Amino acid sequence: MNFKVSHHLLLCATANKAACCSADVGNASWANLKKQIKHHDLENIDRPEGVVLRSKVDCLRICNDGPILLIWPDGIWYGGVTPERIESIVKEHVLGGQPIEAWIIRRTPQQQRHP
């Protein structure tokens, strides 16, 4: 099956290190991310903008201020992504195209490859 992808949201919500986040916060953030993506029908392959993929990842190598959410292809890293912040990030950034500057902890824009 071939479909267009709008964004891929990678949520590091597994508390492997004490400085990251508690398992409760990580699990709640992941649950709310899934809920928001479903609520906004973002996994619909017929969505003109493309689907929004989500992945729960073990570690993004930032072992504090978690949960951490990385949004591709934008290269925006959010810290302290509590369940309460998920809804705003999905609405403002993913749907509205406006990153929430106050919560950004890193930027790694995708580089263009030249032949």
- Say what the pTM is: 0.87
> How many domains does the chain divide into?
1
Q: Which two tokens stand for residue 106?
A: 């890193």
Cα separation, 47 vs 6, whole angstroms: 9
**Is residue 46, in this structure, part of any structural domain at all?**
yes
- The two most distant CA atoms of the chain are separated, in Å, by 46
**Is residue 114, in this structure, part of any structural domain at all?**
no
**Is residue 54, in this structure, part of any structural domain at all?**
yes
pLDDT 10s digits, 16-39: 655 566 778 888 999 999 999 999
* H or E element at residue 26: helix 23-39
pLDDT 10s digits, 42-70: 999 999 999 999 999 877 767 667 799 99
Provide the residue range defining the domain that includes 18. Answer: 5-107
- Torsional sign, CA 64, 65, 70, 75: negative
What CATH number does residue 31 fall under?
3.40.30.10
Report pLDDT for 47. 95
Q: Which two tokens stand for residue 15?
A: 């508390």
**Is residue 112, in this structure, part of any structural domain at all?**
no
Cβ(26)–Cβ(66) under 8 Å? yes
**Is residue 28, in this structure, part of any structural domain at all?**
yes
**Is residue 113, in this structure, part of any structural domain at all?**
no
**Is residue 33, in this structure, part of any structural domain at all?**
yes
